Copies of this chain bind each other. A is one copy, B any other.
Amino acid sequence: MDTAKTDRSSAPLSAEELALVDAYWRAANYLTVGQIYLLDNPLLREPLRPEHVKPRLLGHWGTSPGLSLVYAHLNRCIKARGLDMIYVCGPGHGGPAMVANTWLEGTYPELYPSVNHSEDGMRRLFRQFSFPGGIPSHVAAEVPGSIHEGGELGYALSHAYGAAFDNPDLTVACVVGDGEAETGPLAGSWFSNVFLNPVSDGTVLPILHLNGYKIANQTVFARISDEDRASFFRGCGYEPFLVDGDDPAAVHRELAAVLDACFDRIAEIRADARSKANGSPVRPRWPMIVLRTPKGWTGPSEVDGVPVEGTWRAHQVPLSGVRTNSDHLAMLEEWMRSYRPEELFDATGAPVPELLGLPPEGEARMSANPHANGGLVLRDLVLPDYRDHGVAIEGHGRTVGEATRVLGSWLRDVMSANPDRFRLFGPDEVESNRLGSVFEVTDRQWQAEILPTDEHQAPHGRVMEVLSEHLCEGWLEGYLLTGRHGLFTSYEAFIHIVDAMFNQHAKWLDSSGDIPWRRPIASLNYLLSSHVWRQDHNGFSHQDPGFIDHVMNKKADIVRVYLPPDANTLLSTMDHCLRSRQYVNVVVAGKQPALQYTSMEEAVRHCERGLGIWEWASTDGGAEPDVVLACAGDVPTLEVLAAADLLRKRLPDLKVRVVNVVDLMRLQPDSEHPHGLADREFDTVFTADRPVLFAFHGYPTLIHRLTYRRANHDNIHVRGYKEEGTTTTPFDMVMLNDLDRFRLVMDVVDRVPGLGANAAGLRQEMVDARHAAREYTREHGEDMPEVAEWSWPG
């Protein structure tokens, strides 16, 4: 197998073009070094002095020249071909190179007018980088054209593919660092091309930036053979092109030729697929590029007697002692002057006019492409009325329904109404999570072989299923960041797989909220089903409700957690989430047949309030209760209601109040979260001094954490998941964790004073009932009918 390699003699660059692209690259490199090192003297009008240099050198040079090389060449191609392109920059700390390019092409000065094309603007550009009050060293939200911060390695390629879906004219150039390429999430992203439709989606052009080193080590891809590397990428379905060199002129020619070949090929693939699109799957062999150039290219080749350029030592700052070591200072000046700034910038500090002839103009600039500021192109979803999908209930807690199946019927209509801007992502769990109604109107998108026995597989569809939570999350993030909408459905326990990805996205949302030119994007919506209480059959390894704990550590401005107890509240909640902007919404809901508690109207009101007293289940007659039974989550709600039923039969004088919580954020004080209840309201619902038994879906500590500032906190006793479980039955699962109705009744007896002898007998009965339930389960392998079939007596 051959790696495609172009013939250098047929290179497409004229001498003038080569000179221009090289000048542009030198300018970007100069501006990059300046950002890393300088506080002042940006044009080197005078010899460098220590006081011109930053006291803390925090930038990363190593990856920068390669990033700028690609940028300059892509600019040429955009202009020559009229491409609609964005640039996803994978390598961490690529910030200074990307900022340099956005400054050169004028977007940065437009958005940050004080950092303009002038000597003073250049001084500000340099000073602000990695400086207190300035900008980070990553390609963070502050950088125009970025949808991917980098730094947490592994997500560049999935973000790029997410951006390409449903953007048929877009090309996403994605530079993947060779360090990043070692990570699991990135390694799992190459096969995204199995899902990308050449007719209705755009194109991703992956560029593996093989500069050979990470922080302190060589990289795997740099040290395997050229044959193996090419074989790997062919195996992933690409046509790999190699550009390899360390002589700038030769590399310019070679890269230009390879890029021309790639864009020709992409145009050909698109035209071909679109001319004969007949519904059969086509998985074209898209091109990709392996770009092998030295790490820290054009920087100091040797410092203090050891090689730097082309080694891992070029990763951060090649010269570290510039303020104190005059040799280093001289080398820095020599290095910067090697780019011949006098040819690149005029006397005012602006790029010379010739340079500005390279990049395209207006929104054709990658840094100004509206797709990379997704809120600009975001269109609202057309949302059919969810009320039309509601479950008609015959009395509270008496009708059985499957919450996610009901949701699925509404999602089907959402898909029909939004064929160009909404997708559902799932790790092979859309059917399992009972959202299968969507397949009445769409399919799973898939470009590889489809067999006659397959179902709901097609080259174009709105459902993205792959057995990788990382890919689902990365694709969805890329899709949202480019102005579309989506929903990720997963098993609750395994959403922890993307904890770190959620972190980065939440931080991105938080940061971008402070940037006026970034427009709000659609929220990242999670539907977690197959949750902890219904993993009795999958066993202990599948039981973990802790994602919501993780989420709650992020800023209150950003995160929302909902636990709708039934189908109608789930519909109302999800409608709310799909309309929202700039949040992460986590919705936990059951998929199993379960009792339905609210009519559609009640559900709407209940969700609007976020929590509320269920009077139909309470016996306090609106007065101060003896005990509050609170619940959040479908299974805890069931157990609380069953306990309330027992209590009103067996202790008819006891005044019980049942409170259900949908919006977990309501539990916090209003000083902590915008959804928080004021203390007075909280005390009105939960009382100021009565025992509160709180049956919670997740780990009990979360409820304490949310309520510890409330007056009645010391009286709040929480039951939830406590890491007890195995393969058993649903009711045994709640018993193992002391969340069951019998245990809750025991808790009431233990905590409400003055219940008398009757209560002691009831307590013993509960102990016996637990024992009997356990025995029955062990013998029959299923739950006792009187437990499994309980419903609210009405």
Contacts and interface: CB of A to CB of B under 8 A. Distances in A.
A214 interface: yes
Nearest to A306: B453
A525 interface: no
A496 B183 CA distance: 14
Contacts of A468: 182-184
A188 interface: yes
A216 B39 contact: no
A712 to B, nearest CB: 13
A621 interface: no
A140 to B, nearest CB: 7
Given A224-B448, A431-B215, A723-B555, A132 B234 contact: no
A135 interface: yes
Nearest to A135: B727
A214 B780 CA distance: 31
Contact of A136 (B187, B428, B727): B727
Interface stretch (A15-23, A67-75, A533-541, A611-619): A533-541
A673 interface: no
A140 B732 contact: no
Contacts of A549: 549-550, 553
A623 interface: no
Given A137-B538, A550-B550, A453 B311 contact: yes
B510 A723 contact: yes
Contact of A131 (B233, B497, B511, B781): B781
A350 interface: no
B539 A140 contact: yes
Interface stretch (A52-60, A162-170, A246-254, A369-377): A52-60
A653 interface: no
- In this complex, the member of A218, A468, A777 whose beta carbon has the largest number of chain B beta carbons within 10 angstroms is A468
A491 to B, nearest CB: 10
Number of this chain's copies in the complex? 2
A149 interface: yes
Contacts of A494: 152, 500
Contacts of A218: 446, 450-451, 454, 457
Contact of A541 (B1, B140, B555): B140
A186 B427 CA distance: 15
A307 interface: yes
A231 B224 contact: no
A705 interface: yes
Contacts of A344: none
Interface string A529-553: 0000000011111101010011011
Contacts of A496: 499-500, 503, 550
A292 interface: no
A300 to B, nearest CB: 15
A307 to B, nearest CB: 5
Interface in A112-158: 130-138, 140, 149, 151-154
Interface residues of A, number: 119
A539 B540 CA distance: 37
Contacts of A133: 728, 777-778
A306 to B, nearest CB: 8
Contact of A428 (B55, B217, B510): B217
Contacts of A216: 428, 430-432, 465
A1 to B, nearest CB: 6
Interface in A189-208: 189-191, 194
Contacts of A728: 132-133
A781 B323 CA distance: 14
Contacts of A191: 182, 220
Contacts of A364: none
Interface string A366-403: 00000000000000000000000000000000000000
Given A151-B542, A499-B499, A228 B234 contact: yes
A648 interface: no
Contact of A231 (B153, B235, B469): B235
A138 B539 contact: yes
**Looking at chain A's contact residues, is the secondary structure mostly helix, strand, loop, or mixed?**
loop
Contact of A237 (B224, B444, B471, B727): B224
B224 A229 contact: no
- In this complex, the member of A1, A467, A493, A540 whose beta carbon has the largest number of chain B beta carbons within 10 angstroms is A467
A299 interface: no
A223 interface: yes
A185 interface: yes
A179 to B, nearest CB: 5
A542 to B, nearest CB: 7
B448 A220 contact: yes
A703 to B, nearest CB: 10
Contacts of A626: none
Contacts of A56: 537, 729, 781-782
A6 interface: no
Contacts of A184: 154, 183-189, 468, 470-471
Contact of A504 (B185, B188, B541): B541
Given A215-B432, A223-B449, A781-B39, A138 B541 contact: yes
- In this complex, the member of A133, A187, A311 whose beta carbon has the largest number of chain B beta carbons within 10 angstroms is A187
A538 B510 CA distance: 17
- The 5 A-B residue pairs with the shortest CB-CB distance, nearest first, are A232-B235, A184-B188, A184-B184, A136-B539, A231-B235
Given A184-B184, A184-B189, A503-B546, 17 more contacts: A130-B727, A131-B781, A132-B729, A136-B538, A137-B727, A182-B467, A183-B470, A184-B185, A184-B186, A186-B188, A217-B457, A218-B454, A223-B448, A224-B449, A233-B235, A499-B500, A549-B549
26 contacts: A1-B1, A56-B782, A58-B537, A134-B727, A136-B541, A138-B541, A151-B541, A152-B493, A152-B541, A152-B542, A153-B467, A179-B428, A179-B467, A183-B188, A214-B467, A216-B430, A216-B432, A232-B236, A233-B235, A496-B500, A499-B550, A507-B541, A544-B553, A549-B553, A554-B723, A708-B713
Interface of A: 1, 39, 54-56, 58, 130-138, 140, 149, 151-154, 179-180, 182-191, 194, 214-220, 223-224, 228-237, 307, 310-311, 428-432, 444, 446, 448-451, 453-454, 457, 465-471, 493-494, 496-497, 499-500, 503-504, 507, 510-511, 537-542, 544, 546, 549-550, 552-555, 699, 701, 704-705, 708, 713, 723, 726-729, 732, 777-778, 780-782
